[in-house]
């Protein structure tokens, strides 16, 4: 497939580009709905955003933050995606608490999948009954998964807005957005860092998405833009 990617010499340059784009979104003077990803690169980005010189340039009132997926753990658990962002960023910037829309990992999974779905339906503009995010940020695992959509689990074609997923190795339960929902976004940006992802990226670039088992190869915006932000190590095998 054609891979719309931008290569950055360092992770810091990638983070600075993300920051410029977040600042621009915050100036739109309307609610902007952004879905965040877990992982090491987002953590570095959140640390950068928390710096006073950066935070002061962002109109936080306009930004609404959501999550692509969440482990079913307490928000103070070290594995919580929300917990990371809250400690690193949200506690240090003037973001209204009403603009934080976390997946409540302490809840029973099926209940939370429905509650989170209903929250999205009540806050985000809809197209054909599906919430349309302004910007969804995704990562990619070394197995090609994205959000909590894993290879060989048959979840790519799941209907609806949310689903309960299980990690194929640990058995850990998670709530995740469906591919059907992710693909409604105006914009999807994958963040991929490191040589360990280079081989899969080469496969995604050189083969048809339908021939690959990787959800990250298949999830793309149906009406907007899908882009890949890569460091030089991740992009080393790409043409």
Domain range annotation of the chain: 5-231
d(CA 103, CA 123): 14
Q: How confident is the model at residue 56 (pLDDT cuts 50, 70, 90)?
A: very high
- Whether this prediction's pTM lies above 0.75 is answered by yes
Residue 63 is classified by DSSP as: E
- Three-state DSSP class for 147? coil
Q: Which tokens hold the place of 101?
A: 């829309």
- Looking from the CA of 149 toward its CB, the CA atoms found within 13 Å total 28
Radius of gyration of the chain (CA): 17
- The closest alpha carbon to 32, from 120, 133, 131, belongs to 133
Beta strand 225-231 with 5-8 is parallel
d(CA 107, CA 104): 6
Residue 70 is classified by DSSP as: E
Q: Give, rounded to a whole angstrom, the gap between the first and last alpha carbons of the chain.
A: 12
- Three-state DSSP class for 6? strand
Residues 6+ apart with CB under 8 A from 31: 62, 64, 123
For 200-220, what is each residue's pLDDT tens digit? 999 999 999 999 999 999 999
d(CA 34, CA 101): 10
Q: How confident is the model at residue 180 (pLDDT cuts 50, 70, 90)?
A: very high
* pLDDT for residue 114 is more than 80: yes
Q: What is the pLDDT of residue 16?
A: 97
Q: How far is CA 110 from CA 104, 106, 124, 154, 167, in A?
A: 11, 12, 21, 18, 16
d(CA 3, CA 202): 9
Residues 6+ apart with CB under 8 A from 156: 149, 179, 215, 218, 219
Q: What is the pLDDT of residue 40?
A: 84
**Burial class, 64, CB count within 10 angstroms (exposed 0-12 / middle 13-18 / buried 19+):** buried
Q: What is the pLDDT of residue 239?
A: 86
- Beta carbons of 142 and 200 less than 8 angstroms apart: yes
Residues 6+ apart with CB under 8 A from 216: 138, 140, 141, 144, 145, 146, 190, 200, 204
Residues 6+ apart with CB under 8 A from 209: 1, 217, 218
Q: What is the pLDDT of residue 27?
A: 98
Mean pLDDT (the chain, rounded): 96
Q: What is the pLDDT of residue 155?
A: 94
Average pLDDT for 104-129: 98
- Class level of CATH domain 5-231: alpha beta
Q: How confident is the model at residue 2 (pLDDT cuts 50, 70, 90)?
A: confident
Q: How confident is the model at residue 44 (pLDDT cuts 50, 70, 90)?
A: very high
């Amino acid at each position: 497939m054609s891979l719309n990617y931008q290569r950055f010499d360092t992770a810091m340059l990638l983070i600075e580009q993300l920051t410029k784009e977040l600042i621009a979104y915050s100036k739109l003077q309307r609610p902007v709905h952004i879905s965040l990803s877990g992982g090491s690169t987002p953590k570095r980005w959140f640390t950068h955003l928390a710096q006073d010189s950066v935070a002061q340039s962002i109109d936080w009132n306009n930004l609404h933050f959501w999550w692509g997926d969440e482990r079913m753990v307490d928000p103070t658990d070290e594995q919580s995606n929300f917990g990371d962002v809250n400690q690193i960023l949200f506690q240090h910037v003037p973001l209204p608490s009403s603009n934080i829309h976390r997946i409540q990992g302490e809840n029973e999974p099926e209940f939370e999948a429905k509650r989170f779905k209903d929250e999205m339906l009540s806050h985000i503009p809809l197209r054909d009954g599906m919430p349309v995010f302004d910007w969804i940020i995704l990562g990619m695992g070394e197995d090609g998964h994205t959000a909590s959509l894993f290879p060989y689990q048959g979840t790519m074609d799941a209907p609806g807005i949310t689903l309960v997923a299980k990690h194929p190795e640990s058995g850990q339960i998670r709530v995740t957005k469906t591919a059907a929902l992710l693909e409604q976004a105006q914009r999807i940006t994958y963040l991929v860092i490191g040589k360990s992802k280079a081989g899969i990226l080469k496969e995604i670039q050189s083969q048809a998405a339908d021939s690959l088992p990787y959800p990250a190869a298949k999830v793309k915006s149906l009406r907007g833009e899908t882009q890949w932000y890569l460091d030089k190590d991740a992009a080393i095998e790409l043409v």
